[in-house]
Structure 1
Amino acid sequence: MLILAVVPEPGTARACLEHAALARAAVDDARLVVLHPNADPERLIAAAEEVAIQELREAREGSAVSRAAAVRTVFDEWVAASPGGGEAEWRERPGAIGEVVAAAAAGAALVVLARPRNLDGQDALHEAVFHAGPPLLLVPDAPPPAALAHLALAWEPEDAARRALAAALPWLRRATEVTVLVAGEEGDRPDASEAAERLGEAGVGANVLPLEGGGPVGAALLGACGRIGADALVMGSYDRPAVLEWLFGGATRDVLRHATLPVFLHR
């Protein structure tokens, strides 16, 4: 199993590496590859508009060379301080961020990315959420939990949630507790029996927790995770066009913006 940690910016690289190591430790026979996608305008084959954007990034965030050096410094310091960190493979690839991430993610079982601070990170996140095939573990810019022991699963009987459950099974199987979260008003909540059955077939026992209240689903999911002490949230992301979702909102967008715990996303 290949776990791909994408580190486009130095400010969040350490958090991404620590969470990726946690995800690797939770499953057997996993290897960790660390990717720095390097959008260097001098080496970028792209439309003039894309090159201009990268040149603006250099003015705001420093040159691609300096950003890459800063990320590599964070990686080297993490390797020196982390047991098993030396087993991680470092890769640096020039090119358009989305294209680099997509190519590297093609053979991965999981992509790990920290919530972005700069434009390179935002491009990497957009690619990982909307276009990359593997599930994404989006992590906060904070130290990871001690273990992925208690996982919460946001459930609705739709394909995205089913794919998220299936993709997260290696981690769900190793969790000591799994809670299925079901949103909606009483009498109008999705049936959680399918989720319980799918988990049971994989040897995973789970509790079902209906979410009360009629507020935004994303806020309800994150609030429930906090109350039950979940170490991570598993959820399916939307299949609607990205522009519509960002304009009109949705549970996925709210979770992307406000989560303070790791979130497994799959579309």
Structure 2
Amino acid sequence: MATSRGSSYPPTTSLERPSRTFAARSTAPCGPPGSGSSPSTSAASSPVPSRSRSSPPVPDRPWEPPASLRGIAELDHDRAHRRGYAEAIYCEAKTPAQVRAIAAAVREHGTPTLFTRAAPDHADAVLAELPDARYDAEARLLAWPPTAPEPTGGLVVVAAAGTSDLPVAREALLVATYLGRECELVIDVGVAGLHRVLGRLDLLRRARVVVVVAGMDGALPSVVAGLISAPVVAVPTSVGYGAAFEGLAPLLTMLTSCAPGVAVVNIDNGYGAGHLAAQIAAPV
């Protein structure tokens, strides 16, 4: 369930740098909008592509961490200027006090930020400093500012093999959404019932990229990659009985996929999958 509190800090800067605009190209929507988002189109008549974009102002002097942050972290506020997407904060193994100090620095600087692998005590720490942040408990992710940017680029479809894979699938979905992509979630289309994934082929074939999240035998990415022309980002999860070895079995299955065009991220790495998918589906 997603929550947000208050609206003390409502910056509108996206986690993604402003999208590139090409005057010569018209991009048709990749599919119907998902969950309140709308497809994005761009069109103009000039034959010369324009790469001009507005960017957040670059600070006059290098940012220096406040005393409360020294010895904890050195935040990379310039990352969006340097590589196009803002830094994310990995909360697992950090104390709530450390996460709160980081959230305070994020608020002071105004940098849009995702907090991943956030347990409830991490979420409380972030919300104490950023009360309007959105918290999705299932995905263990907080987003600040809470409103995702208007989607641009191509459609990202996230397919979860089973309901048990949903936490990782939702993490991928939200990351791609907050990086500015239109996203659709498909649930419970594992290979034990192939008719289920075949029934979603129209949607899968409209996607610019499909993220496939699966545990146990990890066979679903190969099946999907054999049915569509778009690249597949495969995410092994730690779901499964003993011989699945907490995600090692599906990881090896995905790495040895017979179908070409499958990229594999680490076990349970929904953040990495969503980020890669957002980059693949970025406006061109």
Q: TM-score, normalised by structure 1?
A: 0.32
- Which structure shows the higher helix fraction? 1
Rg bigger for which structure? 2
* More strand by percentage: 1
- The one of the two structures with greater contact order (alpha-carbon pairs below 8 A, sep at least 6) is 1
